[in-house]
Amino acid sequence: MAVAPVTYGAVTDEVIAELKSLLGDEYVLTDLHERAMRAANCAPFPLHRWADQTPDVVVLPGGTDDVVAILKLASERRIPVTPRGGASGLADGAMPLRKGICVDIKRMNEVFEIDEENSCVTVGTGINPLKLNEILEPLGKFFPDDLAGYANAVIGGRIGCGGWTLIGGRYGHIPDTVISMECVLPSGEVIWVGGGGTKKVRKSSSGYRLKDLFMQHQGTLCIVTRAVLEMYPKPEVEFAGYFAFDNWDDSYAALYDVTTKGFGTISSAMIFDDRKIDFLRRDDEAFIPLHKDVKFVNLFTFYGLRCEVEPAVKEAFRIMKRWGGKYLGPEQGEGDWASRHDRYHLSYHGRTPDGQATLMSWHCEDTAAVHSELPALRIKFHEIVDRYMAEYPGMFDDWGIFIYTSNPFKGWGDYLIEIDVGVAELQYNTETWDAWIRMKKEIANAAVDHDASVSICHGSCREGDDDVAMHREMSHGGFEIMKKIKRMIDPDNIMNPGKYCLDEAYDEVSR
């Protein structure tokens, strides 16, 4: 079946009036500054072309019915729609590349049901995980979504990027902790998809597991309006231990040993590499001072019942000691782990190599790799960033590498390896922005060269990443199927157009 090339409808005064009649005047925002602030999210932003990505109108639906009405209108008029959650993502999922209607879901923040007996909670997807946990806390329960954006992300955005959590080794990540969800398709049709056949059943073998299709779609397929989430008992004990190493090999071996031991309560294990430690040393506010011999730091965390965690921690200490790791004490553990959501994004923590404060924005390129590829990737990522630093002095800076466990419910296997890059964002112009995109693309290609995924944490729908993710990582037939699915669900390409190279789904058919 041939599909005509998409010509988008304009957001006219008539459309605005119709939106106002559907939602009420106060939830349809047309002021330029209201729209402008919804052009950016957490990733480095091309300040020099801000207006190009500013939506034509912002709407704040109050629930599923509102979303249905918005999408029906957008479909009828062929107007691009970009869903926007907390805008805490680093892959520009919430950035409206084709302008149109920005659907800000943050008003949909109700808690519809807390089902203690079945350990789940049903929420509107505009709720923030911290706020949700404030509500669950008196029950001794929590939703184990522990991310850098813990205080500002919302569940809908977390679903949109298939969110990763710091403690996923114990509790799983968003694809695991979302049991089912309500999706509004571009046509306005409302469906529920889950791991099992029903809203609260986690696992069944009946039919198709459609939940996964609508996970990490970055708003290209639907708007998720409600979700049933796992509700865990709050851990009795949280232990974070930091260990110093003087060389990579021992640090890497210790990580392997502690994650393959088979601990049931290990929530995360990670490495701060030598460049990361060097960076943190430049800024005495950002890290507890470490002795000059400390080159690498390993961290592990254990969450669970005291009777499980205490013996596990003792054994983990033995493993660290065997590889020469030196325990850095409870201050490091409690201080750094407690501020894990706050401290790494601050612009004035940017430092020149000689320690002078410089205004830079933090960005991380996160990839998912198996254990055996980590050493080579670490070297390659640094080489790439070093090259761009040399070419554009003062524009980019290597802020080091983190390596985290990322396999849900277990410590071994695959890892998040991210390189943090300082960017002098206020100085962006066409040339430096293009250089930034080239750097990202090189990092993404290096990952795929090592059978790694372009992203574990934030998604790969940004310029520089999307091409590599769709045309290389998904080159074994997956992208071809995805284009067919996209055309079927979204025949007019109104859902977050321009992302994930999915415009190609329409171009090629028209050809």
Partner 1 sequence: MSYQLSKKEFYAEPLAKATGISEEFVKEAYLVFACRHKFCRDICPNFDLTRREAHTSYGFHTSILAVSRGVGQLDALLDDFTYCLECGACELRCPNTSMGGDFYRRSTTTVDMVRKVRRDLVADGGAIADWSAVKEYLDEHRGFVASQGDLVTKWAEGIKLAGDMKTALFVDFFTATQGTEVPRLAVQILARLGVKVGLYTTPGVTAPELLSEDDEEWKRYAGENMESFKALGVKTLVVTNPHDYALFVREYPKWFDMGDLEVVFVTDFILKKMKAKGVTPSVAVEGQFAYHDPCTLNKLVVEADSPRELIAMVPGAEIVDVMPGNQWKYCCGNGNGPYRKLHPEMAYRIGQKRLRAAADLGADTILVACPHCKDQFTDVKARAGLPVEPVHVLEVVAKAMGIDWTTTSPTVG
Residues near partner 1 (CB under 8 A)? 29, 31-34, 36-38, 40-42, 47-48, 50-51, 54, 60, 86-88, 104, 106-107, 109, 126, 128, 130-131, 134, 148-149, 151-152, 285-286, 339, 341-343, 345-349, 357, 359, 361, 425-426
In whole angstroms, give the CA distance from residue 429 to residue 438: 14
Nearer to partner 1, 394 or 478 (CB): 394
- On the CB side of 5, CA atoms within 13 Å amount to 6
Nearer to partner 1, 366 or 425 (CB): 425
Q: Which is nearer to partner 1, 326 or 345 (CB)?
A: 345
Least distance to partner 1 from the beta carbon of 245, Å? 26
**Please, what is the Cα angle at 280 between 313 and 244, to 5 degrees?**
35
Residue 454 Cβ, how far from partner 1 at the closest point, in Å?
Answer: 21
Count the residues in the chain.
511
Cα(14)–Cα(21) distance, integer angstroms:
11
Question: Exposed, middle or buried, 137 (CB in 10 Å: 0-12/13-18/19+)?
Answer: exposed
DSSP state of 428: -
| Rounded least distance, CB 103 to partner 1, Å | 13
* Amino acid identity, position 48: H
Residue 373's nearest CA partner among 299, 448, 323, 471 is 448
Shortest reach from residue 326's CB to partner 1, in Å? 26
What residues contact 194, with CB distance under 8 A and at least 6 apart? 179, 180, 181, 201, 202, 210, 211, 228
Supply the minimum distance, in Å, between the C-beta of residue 51 and partner 1: 5
- What letter does residue 491 receive in the DSSP assignment? T
Comparing CB distances to partner 1, the nearer of 202 and 343 is: 343
**Cβ–Cβ under 8 Å, residues 303 and 309:** yes
Residue with smaller CB distance to partner 1, 357 or 488: 357
Distance of CA 325 to CAs 169, 196, 437, Å? 22, 44, 38
Q: Are 258 and 266 in contact (CB under 8 A)?
A: yes
* Minimum CB–partner distance for residue 235 and partner 1 (Å): 20
Rounded least distance, CB 150 to partner 1, Å: 9
**Residue 18 is inside which H or E element, if any?**
helix 13-23
In the complex with partner 1, the residue whose CB is nearer, 22 or 423, is: 423
Cβ(113)–Cβ(179) below 8 Å: no
Specify the residue, 111 or 151, whose C-beta has the smaller distance to partner 1. Answer: 151
The minimum distance between CB 262 and partner 1, in angstroms, equals 36
Q: Which is nearer to partner 1, 336 or 463 (CB)?
A: 336
